[in-house]
Each structure stands twice: as C-alpha cells, then as structure tokens.
Amino acid sequence: MFDISFMELLVISLVALIVIGPERLPIVAKTLGNLYGRCRSFVYSVRTDIHNEIRMEELKEMQSSIEETVHSVEQSAQHNINQIKAGLTDDSSMVEENLSSRTSTNQPVAKPQTATSTKHDPSNG
C-alpha cells in the first residue's frame, strides 16, 4: 500500500507523542485504528460491489446469448416443420391427382387385398 519503512513509522510515532501528548495518544491511536478499519471495510465493500456488477453484466450477456441461440433453434425447428408439412401436403395432393386421373379414365382402382380363407373342396381332390 504505502511504502513506509520502520524508521519512518518510528519518527511519525515520536512526533505524534510530542504533539498529542502521552495522555491522549492511546485514544487517538484507537480512533485512527477504527477509521483505518472502516476505510478498509468500505474499500472491500466497494470492490465486492464492483465485482458483483461485473459478474451481473457477464450473466446478462450469457443470458442474451442463450436466448439468441434458443430463438435460432426455434426458427430452425419451425422451418423444418413447415418443410415437412409442405412435403406431406405435396404427397397428399399427388395421391389425390392419381386418384382423380384414374377415375377420369375409368380405370379400376385397385382394392386392397385381404387374406381369404381357403376351403378344402373335396370334389377337386
């Protein structure tokens, strides 16, 4: 913090002892200690607040990035769903066209074959 050597502290203490006097020096030292402690806690508090604000900004940026990613995934999924729906619509219209072309040319529409049971005819052997 400050570059004060032991000798400088000793000189400051002697001057304080002479100026303040031996009776009031402990009270002044206690007051200075309390002020120093308050200053340290204030600086620590400010540093913590700044760190928290920076962290909040990082989290907001991360949230906006995630929201953009989610939005792009939603758009991509919706685009793919629309393509699939369009493909299904095209397939159903092709089936309808085939059916309508067969009925217009009077071609018989093939019926699905079902499994029939075969009976044993004793006359056929």
- The pLDDT score that the predictor gives to residue 5 is 86
Query: Quick one: average pLDDT of 16-40?
Result: 91
Write the CA distances from 65 to 72, 79, 82, 122, integer angstroms: 11, 21, 26, 81
Contact 109, 102 (CB under 8 A): yes
Judge whether 104 lies within some domain. Answer: no
| Backbone phi and psi for residue 103, each to the nearest 5 degrees, phi listed first | -75, -30
Query: Contact, 100 vs 106, CB < 8 A?
Result: no
State the residue range of the domain holding 52: 18-90
Q: How many CA atoms lie within 13 A of 33 on its CB side?
A: 6
Q: Flag whether 101 is in a domain.
A: no
Rg (CA), the chain: 46
Residue 39 located in a structural domain: yes
Report yes or no on 97 lying in a domain.
Answer: no
68 within some domain: yes
**What pLDDT, in 10s, does the model give residues 60-89?**
999 999 999 999 999 999 999 998 888 877
Q: What is the mean pLDDT of residues 46-56?
A: 96
Confidence class for position 38, pLDDT limits 50, 70, 90 = very high
Mean pLDDT of 10-32: 89
Number of domains, the chain: 1
* Ordered alpha helix ranges (H), the chain: 6-20, 25-104
Position 11 in a domain: no
CA quadruple 30, 32, 37, 41: dihedral sign:
positive
87-104 pLDDT, tens digit each: 877 767 776 777 676 665
At residue 39, the pLDDT reads 95
Query: pLDDT band for position 105 (50/70/90)?
Result: low
Residue 77 lies in a domain: yes
Q: Residue 64: inside a domain, yes or no? A: yes
- pLDDT at residue 93, as a whole number: 72
